[in-house]
Amino acid sequence: MAVAVGGAIGAHTVAVLCTIAWSLLLAAAVDRAFVGGEGLGAVAPVLVAMAAVLVVRSAAGWVAEVRADHASGRLRARVRADLVAHLFAVGPAGLGRERTGEVAGTVGAGVDALHDHVTRFVPAAAMAVVAPVLVFVAIAVLDPWTTLILLFTGPMLILLLAVIGRRTRALTERRFDELGWLSAFYLDMIRGLPTLKAFRRSGDGADTIEDVSRRFGDTTMEVLRTAFQTSLVMEWAATAATALVAVQVSFRMIETGLPFGTGLAVLVLTPEFFLPFRRLALEYHAGQSGDAALARIAEIEALPACAPPVLGPVDGPTFEHPPAIELVGVRYRYPDASGDALDGLDLGLGAGETVALVGLSGAGKTTVARLLLRFVDPSEGHVRADGVALTDLDPAAWRRSVAWVPQSPTILAGTVADNVRLGDPAASDERVRAALELARATTFVDALPAGADTVVGERGLQLSGGQRQRLAIARAALRDAPVVVLDEPTAHLDDELEAEVVAAIAELLRDRTALVIAHRPSTAAMADRVVRLEAGRVVGSGR
């Protein structure tokens, strides 16, 4: 990426050199034609050289844009990939205090804000250093006296830009924060529509959206006004400085005999000295938007990782047979928590054994499940499978060996079959059907308008809680993994359906190593052993 940005800046530098050469050629042509009285034939080679320089400058400008776009694409792809990988590493435990809509907005619109930062602001900032130096050197060779004006006005413009830019930075950061908050609020409103309508509070939500949207619009207009004011002030200052150069050059051409060609070249080059500052003022808003996005990205990347990310193909062996799992002296504390969720836990699961965890809320049951799924890694102690520490295994390979049924399963926007195939994307229709049968889900699936090809909508809002739970069980069955982790799989089922699903789960768990978080007696009853947790420790074990 740095090479591409450097190439863009290099191409812009070539364009500036071409501009200097073209200005000198123009002054020479005019001087020879109108002052020297030479004919068109005499200045024709100069005109041809001017045309060639214009072609080279146009080509350099095109190369600069292409290289900048290439750098932007690579940067955004890398930042987004790194950000998503870090979010996977942080996991659900570490993201508990973050708003989903704001995080999604940062990954989407926030990363996209880097495009203008790279393609417009970075080249403008670089050329605000390079171009004035090149033009200054050219003018110094032609007429050293003019450089005194440039040495005074140039720093004044930079100081003016810095003062106004500080105001723009604060406004842009506030606008970016408001946009993230607004995105998160919209998502919360959409997800909470049933609750808001049930409590007759939907009007309050609409009023809040209107108020925040108005504030966001006011902040946006304030940012634009500041940007326009910056550009206007810079234009006036650059025009005044150019006029001052024109006045002193004119007087010296009359009084001291400054050559016409030299004076014309200085007059043509002087606006090019101020042009990079004016362009930087125009692109300053893009730069501040990119800086605000980078600051938010840095905040997300600063979240502590709870477990290694899993992106890309499986790299390492998977377990073909149910392993024996043991947790030895495991201690874990969530970020910013005041105490340990697990306090030196010792727990064993025999190969092919089903163990049910029971206990009050906060006893550490969910944390044990997260350890087995490698959503978190222990702060102390070890989690081993067949004697191999999970931290020594490739995360993707281990998770390929684990099927999971959460208490509140995630149903993605798509068909029933698509959601079941999360367990195995390559599964055939026949295997999907068999998994649905095992989960006792075929009755309600066949009643849907298109059967397994019915689009269930985002979060499965068209399905009941029990139907979503059975799809999650079918997904786990399709996974066909030697290790199964279930978090109260019958939580959303009525008594009649619970018996069927318990039978289905018993079939799913046969010949597999399984951990079941149980709250209902029927769920605990299908386990080979029941373990009671209290304050992150085992306090009882038996049938």
User: Which tens digits make up the pLDDT trace of 415-469?
Assistant: 889 989 988 888 898 999 998 988 888 888 888 888 888 888 666 667 877 788 8
pLDDT at 181: 67
- pLDDT surpasses 60 at 315: no
pTM, two decimals, is 0.65
pLDDT at 129: 86
- pLDDT surpasses 80 at 91: no
Domains and CATH numbers, the chain: 2-301 (1.20.1560.10), 325-542 (3.40.50.300)
Band the pLDDT of 513: cuts 50, 70, 90: very high
pLDDT at 203: 65
- pLDDT surpasses 90 at 505: no
Q: Closest Cα partner for 60 from 16, 15, 120?
A: 15
Instruction: Count the Cβ atoms, other than its own, within 10 Å of residue 155.
Output: 10
Query: How far is Cα 401 from Cα 409, in angstroms, rounded to an integer?
Result: 19
Strand partners, 532: 358, 540
Query: How far is Cα 231 from Cα 236, in angstroms, rounded to an integer?
Result: 9
Query: How far is Cα 147 from Cα 431, in angstroms, rounded to an integer?
Result: 80
Number of H helices, E strands in the chain: 18, 10
Kindly state the average pLDDT of the residues 86-112. 73
pLDDT at 180: 67
Residue with tokens 């049938």, as numbered in its chain: 543
Query: How far is Cα 273 from Cα 238, in angstroms, rounded to an integer?
Result: 9
Band the pLDDT of 272: cuts 50, 70, 90: confident
Kindly state the average pLDDT of the residues 197-211. 66
- pLDDT surpasses 70 at 184: no
- Burial of residue 211, with CB atoms counted within 10 A of its CB: 0-12 exposed, 13-18 middle, 19 or more buried: exposed
With pLDDT > 90 as the criterion, what percentage of the chain qualifies? 9
